[in-house]
Amino acid sequence: MSGSSERNGMSIPAWPQLEALFHEALGRAPAQRAAFLAARCADRPELRAQIEAMLRAHAEGANALNVSGVSAPSVLTPGSRLGAYEILGTLGAGGMGEVYRARDTKLHRNVAIKILPAAFMADADRVARFEREARVLAALNHPNIAAIYGIEDGEVVVSGFSRTIRALVLELIEGDTLADRIARGPIPVTDALGIARQIAEGLEAAHEKSIVHRDLKPANIKLTPTGTVKVLDFGLAKLTQASGLGPQGPGLTASPTITVDRTHSGLITGTPAYMSPEQARGQAVDKRTDIWAFGCVFYEMLTSRRAFQGDTFSDTIAAVLEREPDWLALPTSTPPTLRHLLRRCLKKEPKDRLHDVADARIEIEDAISRPADDAAVPRAAPPAGHHRERLAWTIAALAVLGMAALALSTAVPFLRPAVAPAPTRFEISTPPTVDPASFALSSDGRQLAFVATDAGGRKLFVRRLDEVTAQPLGGTGGALFPFWAPDGQALGFFADGKLKRIDMPHGAPRVLADASGWGGATWNRDGVIVFSDG
C-alpha cells in the first residue's frame, strides 16, 4: 500500500500520514487539540477517533510505570504472517514491547517475535531503545541470556492503518518467570543459590561487553523446565562507549528511569522497587546499578517479599533512598556469608557497593560448594539452671573510666600511671518479678529491659536510666530472657515457645523462630541472632 487503504468503503491514510497528524496534535497544548482535530478531520470522524485514541494511549503511557494498562489493539493476531513467521499467539505485553509466539516456517522452529506496542510505534525514543536492544542482544552470546536470531521487517495493518514495522526474532524461552516462582513463596536457600549464580553469570557476560541491563527484576528472568536461567529484556540497557555498539540514542545517557518526550513531560519506564538510589535520582549509572538490582532480586527470592516496598511510586522511591531491608526477614538457614553479600550489594552509595558481579558469583559458588561451613544460626550449649524465685533484685552497673584515663595519659604523657577506675553501684526498684535473671542492659548503657509482673501478668518493661519510671511493652506477655539489638532500637525475647522481636518504642512483636530460649540469645552487628534452644 502506498498512500491509503480502504476500510468500510472509506479511504484511510497510510501510517506516515497518520503519524504526522498525531504529532501535529501532540505538539499542541491539550486544551487546543480538540479544536485542531475538529478542523483537520471535519469530514473524517473515524480518523479523528483514531488520533484521539492514540493521544489517550500516549497520555496513559506517560503516567504509568508500564503500558500494560494501555488499551491499544494488538498489532499481530494469531494466523497472521510477518515474513516467514506465522503468529501463533500472544506471550505478553509491557512497556518495552509486545511479544508473540510464532513459527519459523523455513527452519520449522518456534520463536518469540517482539515489536513495539501500537501506542508507541511513533515514539522516537521507544524506537531508539528497541533498535538498541537488537544491537545489545547481537553482541551477547551466553547460555544465561536469551538469544536474538535476527530482525524482520514487514507491513501490517494496525486498526485499519497500513504501516511497516520492525520486529526482533528472539529465542523462545519456555517456563515460568522468576516473579511467578516467587509468588508461590520463598525459594529454599539451596535453590536460590543456583538461580542467583546463573543470573550473576549472565550479568557478568553483559558487563564484560560494557553493557548495563538497568532493568533487572524477577519478571525479566525466566526459569526453564531444564533448570537453566535466562535473563531477558535488554530494552533499557545502557551501551557505554567501550561497548562499541553505537550511540545511546536521544535522551538515554543519564538514566533508564526518566526520559523526555517531545512535550518535555517525564516518562517513568523503570521498576521503582529495583532501581538503585543513583538510578532513582536520575544520575549517571554503571554496572553497580545492576549489582543493586541483583541484590534486590536475591533478597526477594529468599523472603518472597521485596527489599524495598511502598504503597505508591513515591513511597517505594523513598524506601530505596532512605530505608534498609528487613534483614531479619531472611530465613534462619541463610549463611552469614550470604547475608554479608546482600548487604554489600545493597549499599546506598555506589562507592561502598560491591563493584563487580563476578565477586558475587564467586561468593555464591563458595556457598554452594561448602554449605556445611556456613551454619546460619550458631547455637550455644544451654547453661545449667533455670528460674530464680525472688521478688526484689539488685543490678550492679560498672561505669568504666578507662577511656578517660587513656585520654588523659595521651594529653599529658609520662605524667603518671593510669588509676584503675572505681566501680559505681546503684539500685533500681522494679515491679514484682518471679524471674530476676531476665534483664538486659543496652549496649550504650542507657536503657534497661527486664521482666516483671503487673495486673496484666508477666511482661517486658523498659526503663531509661535517666528517668525514674519503667514503661511496660504491650504484646510481650509471658516474656523471658530479653536481649537488645546493637543499636538499642529493638529488643529480642522469648515467649510462648517462640523467638520474638519488638521495635522501640511502639512496635508490635513479631515471631522470628520456634525456640524455648532457656539458653538465652545475643544479637550481633551483622543482624544475626545467636540463640540456644536448650
Q: Which segments of 98-257 does DSSP mark as H helices, in order? A: 124-139, 178-183, 189-208
Q: How far is CA 63 from the centre of its chain?
A: 21
**pLDDT at site 91:** 86
Sequence-distant (≥ 6) Cβ neighbours of residue 456 within 8 angstroms: 472, 477
**pLDDT at site 117:** 67
**Residue 455, Cβ neighbours under 10 Å: how many?**
5
227: left (phi over 0), alpha (psi -120 to 50) or beta: left
Domains 176-241+253-373 and 430-531 alike in fold = no
Helix (H) or strand (E) holding 222: strand 221-223
CB 141 within 8 A of CB 147: yes
The CATH topology of domain 176-241+253-373 is Transferase(Phosphotransferase); domain 1 (1.10.510)
Would you call 68 exposed, middle or buried from its count of C-beta atoms within 10 A (0-12, 13-18, 19+)?
exposed
Q: What is the mean pLDDT for each group of 10 consecutive residues in the chain (534 residues)?
A: 44 56 74 86 82 67 34 71 91 74 94 78 72 82 90 72 78 92 95 97 93 90 95 68 45 32 36 88 89 97 94 85 93 92 96 95 91 46 40 40 49 52 65 77 87 85 85 88 90 89 87 77 85 70
Q: Architecture of 1-172 per CATH?
A: 2-Layer Sandwich (3.30)
Q: Are strands 229-231 and 457-464 parallel, antiparallel or unpaired?
A: unpaired
Domain ranges of the chain: 1-172, 176-241+253-373, 397-423, 430-531
Give CA–CA dist 17/8, Å, rounded. Answer: 19
Instruction: Label residues 115-130 b or e (16+ Cβ within 10 Å = b).
Output: bbbbbbbbbebbbbbb
CB 448 within 8 A of CB 467: no
Identify the active-site residue in 123, 215, 261, 533: 215
Would you call 311 exposed, middle or buried from its count of C-beta atoms within 10 A (0-12, 13-18, 19+)?
exposed
**pLDDT at site 252:** 31
Query: Cell numbers 483514531 correspond to what residue?
Result: 50
Cis, bond preceding 505 (omega within 30 deg of 0)? yes
Would you call 269 exposed, middle or buried from its count of C-beta atoms within 10 A (0-12, 13-18, 19+)?
buried
**pLDDT at site 401:** 42
> What's the number of CA atoms in the CB half-sphere (13 Å) around residue 315?
4
**pLDDT at site 208:** 93
Is 215 annotated in the active site? Answer: yes
Provide the whole-model pTM.
0.57
**pLDDT at site 54:** 72
Would you call 371 exposed, middle or buried from its count of C-beta atoms within 10 A (0-12, 13-18, 19+)?
middle
The CATH topology of domain 430-531 is Neuraminidase (2.120.10)
Residue-by-residue DSSP string for 48-71: HHHHHHHHHHHHHHHTSSSSTT--
Give CA–CA dist 332/513, Å, rounded. Answer: 8
